[in-house]
Amino acid sequence: MESMTIFAISGCLLTACLVYVVMQVRFVGEKQAVADQLLKTQAEITQLKKTLKGYTRYRECLEVGKHALMEQLKPPIVRQVRQYVHVEPIARALFKLEQDATVVIKFEVEFLFSIDLNPADLDVTDIEHGIALKINRPVLMGEPQIKTLTQQVFSMKPVVDDRALITFALNKFVPLAKRYGSAMSTEESVRTMCRMKALECLRDTLVKQSGVKQVGAIFVDFK
């Protein structure tokens, strides 16, 4: 009887030990699973922070962008070619002609425009919705390059040497061409091209910087 009692008690103890061991193993397993999930979540959060930082990282690179503008936007920034027909009346007394004459010349003129990118006049600013870029207004660069396409001299009487008349008409057109160029620098089409060149240069520079995923909107205006 005592043996049976001892056997029963031993069986109960053994069962209890097995249950305890199983519960411990299960607890340790669940604990490890929770730890693994926690590590995975922390890694995902770290990666998410890194990714999100990539969308604002450009704000830390604005000074680099400013230097790139000064280095890469070398003049001329914009080139424009236009054609003009110049009509120059010639009084006969000027060249001792038998009759008054008229010179008609068709010109092709190339205009070059530049922007002063002095560091003190170049503003690259971080704003709420992107980047504000302020630059100087475009100006005519140097002398316009004038090419004669056609030329004609009209007069009621034959002109023995029309070269002097044509040279006279050309010299009259030169200052006009420069004035045309200066006026063109205020045209919206020329200013838009300057804005686009500056915008593209800044954006391309920023997007190449380490860690930059995206560049905010760039707003370009003139001072």
Per-residue pLDDT of the chain (223 residues; tens, 9 = 90+): 444 554 455 555 445 554 444 455 455 555 565 555 555 555 555 555 555 556 788 999 999 999 999 999 888 999 999 999 999 999 999 999 999 999 999 999 999 999 998 888 899 999 988 999 999 999 999 999 999 999 999 999 988 889 999 999 999 999 999 999 999 999 999 999 999 999 999 999 999 999 898 899 999 999 8
Instruction: Note the pLDDT of residue 23.
Output: 52
SS3 label, residue 211: coil
- CA torsion sign for 116, 120, 123, 124 is positive
Total-model pTM: 0.74
Task: Give the start-to-end residue ranges of the domains of the chain.
Answer: 1-54, 58-222
DSSP collapsed to 3 states, 165-199? HHHHHHHHHHHHHHHHHHHHCCCHHHHHHHHHHHH
